[in-house]
Amino acid sequence: MTWIRTVIVLVAALVLLSPLAAEAQDYPTKPIEIVVPFTPGGGTDLIARLLADYMGKKWGQPILVANKPGGGGIIGARAALKDSRPDGYTVLIDIHTTSSMHIGAWKTPQLTLADRKYAARIVRDPMVFAVKVDAQWKSFKELSDWVKAHPDQLIWSSVGPSGPSRYTAFDWFTQIGVDPSKTRMVITEGAADSLTKLAGGHVLLSIHSVAEAHALTTAGKIRLLAVLSPSRVKYLPDVLTAEEQGVMKGVRVQWWAAVAFPSATPDPIVKKWESAIAEMTKDPAFLAGADRINMNIDFLNAADMRAFVEKEVEGYTDMAGKIGIRR
Amino acid sequence: MDVLGHLASGFGAALSPTNLMMAALGSLLGTLVGVLPGLGPTAAIAILFPLTTVLAPAPAIIMLAGIYYGAMYGGSTTAILLNIPGEVASVPTCLDGYPMAQQGRGGVALGISAIGSFFAGTLGVVALTFFAPFLADQALRFGPPEYFGLMVLAFTVIASLSGGSLVKGFAMAFLGYFISLIGLGPSTAEPRFTFNWGPLMGGVDLIALIVGLYAISEVFIGLEEERVAITQKIRNVFPRLADLREAFPAILRGTGIGFFLGLLPGCAPGVTVFMAYDVEKKLSKHPERFGKGAIEGVASPESANNATSSAGFIPLLALGIPASAPLAVLLGGLLVYGLQPGPLLFQKNPEFVWTVIASLYVGNVILLILNLPLIGMWVWLTRIPYGILGPVILLLAFIGAYSVRNSMFDVGVSFVCGAIGFFLRRHQWPLAPMLLAFILGPLLEKYLIQSLSMSGGNPLIFFQRGISLALIVAAALLLLTSLALVRYTRRRVKEETAEELAL
């Protein structure tokens, strides 16, 4: 029976030695988990699945998407950044609400920028101002003038009390000189909930990202008056930017998604992701997938992403203080 | 739109050997998991979902839909034979199904449940076929005030779910609402009762709660009683003509209630089954038979359950709004294949939508064919010795609780809920009002705040809009009638049996 003992020793040796062999150049040697801190079906989830598909084929390892929703995304983000091993096998899809907006809105945030290392940004999805398809306003300028005259008649829907819609609206109100507290804000559970209320005529205005508003726009239920972006978006060639219409200057709020790791993750692994994502965002098959979900792919490398987020944190801290929701 | 043309080509695809096999396999697996005590459709879909990911989109969704239907039916089997609802939607089925089983009429209850489910499911799908595009628009007319009215209406059901004691019922509803408050508030995102502890921020998960209250407490009770499995023989699953005559109006009403309420996004089978059961009890000439094995008490909620499930595909496919937990899992399934539900789905992917709709017809037929002859086998499954089944249920319950959010915290929650549920059940505190308030409480709060935001704080908004006014008036009437009826029933029961009424 010595051969059994030999086999056992060999297997044990392999099991024990395998972590030593797993250097960055061999990475990945086992399945990777991508944590999405939201429910299936949202923009974050869809982009994670495209990413998993691409990287899975590229590296020949299964890449699993794990949805860990709750607590505005903070629970899943914590699980990925703080409660997992920093070995590169747990990846977080990090977005504005789990990073810059969260940090801006809390005096003692549960997660800070020091808790993460960015590999790259994948998506930048600008915000749009949407009204019902048969609404009286023909342009963003007309709507802004009407709101200036009747601030108390504007019923608009936001997602959560401190989500992108609220910050965008605040920016807009401040720039056109309307007191935000005079308007009527209806807080909804998400883009689908909010846009359904808009299409049903229960609210007059909704502010969402391009990808979120796209389906109902194409279906002819809602109309987009302006996009909040430095330039027009390729999916919406006919929608003017807010700046083109002379209503707002600059872009302080937008939807984005990036890939982040726990801060103790080895640099070579993060670098490997950075270059793989750079490649991915040029891949025609991936871009076709992104087109299907109307996601505006806009790559930003690790260093630029860091600077971008730091600037956002400043902006949101400032706005949250002015709105009175910083606590 | 040429509905019939689309449907015909849909059938062409749904009847292909692969798709037919997937529908059958899904129904079979769904029933198999659903029949295991304590496991409902959500857990079944969640457990079996990974199996479908290797398939192409259409067969995968067909299989998932089969699992969904199968698990719903499997859930009824355990509700009837073991008094274990796998999901809220099966709670009313227990009320009369289990007494029927104790009277040796378990086979008839299962048979009527299969027939009612088939009838309602098919009728629901027919309606889905013709009204889906039209109804996608109607659902939009329901704004926050209308939903608020609907929630008020749903809340009046608590009165009749309280069993013997209204005080106990409302106390339990209050407890359920309190538990639902834990976490971030729906509108303010203000943490409530979280004690600054991270995991509590996400609140108590519905599945963990259900699995704990019903499945895990069941294991505790089973272990305490050193339960032996039911050994009764299921003699005849085909109901007699008299049974059918008695059950048929109930099936029709259950289907109607289940379907029309199920169209509203957010109205899960958990709500409609209680309403259907209640209506049946209200309309009955002998309401005192309910809870003691009335066949209508099985037929109506079972039909409502399946009608709501079918109707739920309308807001799901047409608006992308899942009406219940299992449909939310299905939504996840659609998205995995890059199919985004919404008004566009019917225009962008008509072949896909209509293949799925056609396969729902096929699935209902398969389920009926599978279930009537196989009832014996399902019963045999429930007869596995408790020493084996108990740990298996516990394991599956924990997997179910874990799989929703991939969180160990939820497993802990389910265990705690199991202990609480065990204690409450031992002392005859009704669980149903607690669950109802847990589900509906946050919705009521949300719609109230949203409506008042719309009106600038003016509560008159609920009375200025036709639909919400009608719903609130209906709720007031229903509450008065049910209070009167509860009092009447309790007096009658006391007169008849000198015992307190327990549901």
- Give the per-residue pLDDT at B99: 84
The CA distance from A318 to A322, in Å, is: 6
Measure in Å the smallest separation between the Cα of B76 and chain A Cα atoms.
Answer: 28
- Give the per-residue pLDDT at B139: 65
> Is-contact B124 B306, C-beta < 8 A?
yes
Measure in Å the smallest separation between the Cα of A4 and chain B Cα atoms.
Answer: 34
- Closest CA in chain A for residue B465: A202
Is the minimum CB–CB distance between B449 and chain A shorter than 8 Å?
Answer: yes
Contacts of A155 in chain B (CB under 8 A): 453-454
- Closest CA in chain B for residue A64: B50
- For residue B445 the two structure tokens come to 């709060």
> Is-contact B433 B424, C-beta < 8 A?
no
Q: Tell me which of B405, B447, B451 to substitute to probe the interface with A (most A C-beta atoms closer than 10 Å).
A: B405
pTM for the whole structure = 0.70
pLDDT in single tens digits along all 503 residues of chain B: 467 777 888 888 888 888 888 888 888 888 887 776 556 676 667 666 666 666 777 788 888 888 888 888 787 887 787 777 666 677 788 888 888 887 878 888 888 888 888 888 888 788 777 776 665 566 677 788 988 887 787 777 676 666 667 788 889 989 999 998 988 776 666 778 878 777 787 788 777 787 788 778 877 877 776 655 555 556 666 777 888 888 888 998 988 888 887 776 556 666 678 778 888 888 888 877 887 888 888 888 888 888 888 887 776 777 666 666 667 667 666 766 666 666 667 766 777 888 888 888 888 888 888 777 777 777 777 667 777 777 877 887 787 777 666 778 889 998 999 899 899 888 888 777 887 788 778 878 888 999 998 988 889 999 998 888 988 898 888 778 767 766 666 665 565 555 443 43
Is the pLDDT reported for residue A17 higher than 50?
Answer: no
Measure in Å the smallest separation between the Cα of A263 and chain B Cα atoms.
Answer: 20
Measure in Å the smallest separation between the Cα of A262 and chain B Cα atoms.
Answer: 18
The CA distance from B179 to B210, in Å, is: 13
- Closest CA in chain B for residue A291: B338
The CA distance from A191 to B392, in Å, is: 40
Q: Tell me which of A154, A198, A202, A214 to substitute to probe the interface with B (most B C-beta atoms closer than 10 Å).
A: A202
Residue A231, class by beta-carbon neighbours within 10 Å (0-12 exposed, 13-18 middle, 19+ buried)?
Answer: exposed
The CA distance from B469 to A144, in Å, is: 34
Query: pLDDT digits over A181-233, tens only?
Result: 999 999 887 787 788 889 889 999 999 999 888 888 888 889 999 999 999 98
Measure in Å the smallest separation between the Cα of A244 and chain B Cα atoms.
Answer: 30
3-state secondary structure string, B289-320? HCCCCCHHHHHHHHHHHHHHHHHCHHHHHHHC
Determine phi and psi for A128, rounding to 5 degrees. Answer: -125, 155
∠ CA B311-B316-B320, nearest 5°, is 155
Is the minimum CB–CB distance between B188 and chain A shorter than 8 Å?
Answer: yes
Q: How many Cα atoms occupy the beta-carbon half-sphere of A237 within 13 Å?
A: 0
Residue A21's pLDDT band, with cuts at 50, 70 and 90, is very low
Contacts of B344 in chain A (CB under 8 A): 215, 218-219
Contacts of B449 in chain A (CB under 8 A): 187
Query: pLDDT digits over A49-62, tens only?
Result: 889 989 999 999 88
Is the minimum CB–CB distance between B331 and chain A shorter than 8 Å?
Answer: yes
- Give the per-residue pLDDT at A256: 95
Contacts of A159 in chain B (CB under 8 A): none
- Give the per-residue pLDDT at A100: 93
Listing DSSP states for B337-353 in one string gives TT---STTHHHH-HHHH
The CA distance from B100 to A46, in Å, is: 47
- Closest CA in chain B for residue A53: B336
Residues in B 226-265 with any Cβ partner in A closer than 8 A: 265
Is the minimum CB–CB distance between B458 and chain A shorter than 8 Å?
Answer: no
- Give the per-residue pLDDT at B397: 76
Compare CB distances from A45 to B201, B335, B344 and report the shortest one's residue: B335
- Closest CA in chain B for residue A219: B344
The CA distance from B202 to B5, in Å, is: 47
Contacts of B199 in chain A (CB under 8 A): 75
Least confident of A30-44, A100-114, A301-315: A30-44
Measure in Å the smallest separation between the Cα of B187 and chain A Cα atoms.
Answer: 6
Residue A89, class by beta-carbon neighbours within 10 Å (0-12 exposed, 13-18 middle, 19+ buried)?
Answer: buried
The CA distance from B395 to B409, in Å, is: 15
- Closest CA in chain A for residue B140: A200
Q: Name residue B73's amino acid.
A: Y
Compare CB distances from A162 to B189, B446, B456 and report the shortest one's residue: B189
Contacts of A221 in chain B (CB under 8 A): 343
- Give the per-residue pLDDT at B113: 85
Q: Tell me which of B321, B335, B346, B462 to substitute to probe the interface with A (most A C-beta atoms closer than 10 Å).
A: B335
> Is-contact B144 B459, C-beta < 8 A?
no
The CA distance from B393 to B396, in Å, is: 5
The CA distance from B206 to B344, in Å, is: 31
- Give the per-residue pLDDT at A140: 96
- Give the per-residue pLDDT at B321: 62
DSSP code of residue B229? -
- Give the per-residue pLDDT at A300: 95
Is the minimum CB–CB distance between B321 and chain A shorter than 8 Å?
Answer: yes
DSSP code of residue A240? P
A268-284 exposure pattern, b = at least 16 Cβ within 10 A, e = fewer: ebbebbbebbeebbeee
Output B237 or A29, whichever has higher pLDDT: A29
Q: Tell me which of B54, B407, B413, B443 to substitute to probe the interface with A (most A C-beta atoms closer than 10 Å).
A: B407
Position of tokens 């309307």? A178
Contact A69 B189 (CB under 8 A): no
- Give the per-residue pLDDT at B70: 85
The CA distance from A252 to A254, in Å, is: 7
The CA distance from B97 to B251, in Å, is: 15
Checking DSSP bridges between strand A222-228 and strand A90-95, what pairing results, if any?
unpaired
The CA distance from B82 to B97, in Å, is: 9
- For residue A151 the two structure tokens come to 């601030």
- For residue B91 the two structure tokens come to 């709670």
> Is-contact B66 B364, C-beta < 8 A?
no
Is the minimum CB–CB distance between B457 and chain A shorter than 8 Å?
Answer: no
Q: Tell me which of B193, B340, B347, B448 to substitute to probe the interface with A (most A C-beta atoms closer than 10 Å).
A: B340
Number of Cβ pairs < 8 A linking chain A and chain B: 113
Average pLDDT for residues A165-193, to the nearest whole number? 90
Contact A200 B143 (CB under 8 A): yes
Output B174 or A42, whichever has higher pLDDT: B174
> Is-contact B76 B210, C-beta < 8 A?
no
The CA distance from A115 to B236, in Å, is: 64
The CA distance from B312 to A250, in Å, is: 43
Of A9-13, A267-271, B46-50, B421-425, give the range with the top mean pLDDT. A267-271
Is the minimum CB–CB distance between B187 and chain A shorter than 8 Å?
Answer: yes
Contact A186 B201 (CB under 8 A): no
Is the pLDDT reported for residue A23 higher than 60?
Answer: no
ipTM over 0.85: no
Listing DSSP states for B193-218 in one string gives S-TT-GGGGG---HHHHHIIIIIIHH
- Give the per-residue pLDDT at B135: 58
Is the minimum CB–CB distance between B450 and chain A shorter than 8 Å?
Answer: yes
Residue A19's pLDDT band, with cuts at 50, 70 and 90, is very low
Q: Helix or strand or coil: residue B268?
A: coil
Q: Tell me which of A158, A186, A188, A217 to substitute to probe the interface with B (most B C-beta atoms closer than 10 Å).
A: A186
The CA distance from B412 to B399, in Å, is: 12
The CA distance from B200 to B189, in Å, is: 13
- Give the per-residue pLDDT at A20: 42
- Give the per-residue pLDDT at B166: 78
Contact A215 B407 (CB under 8 A): no
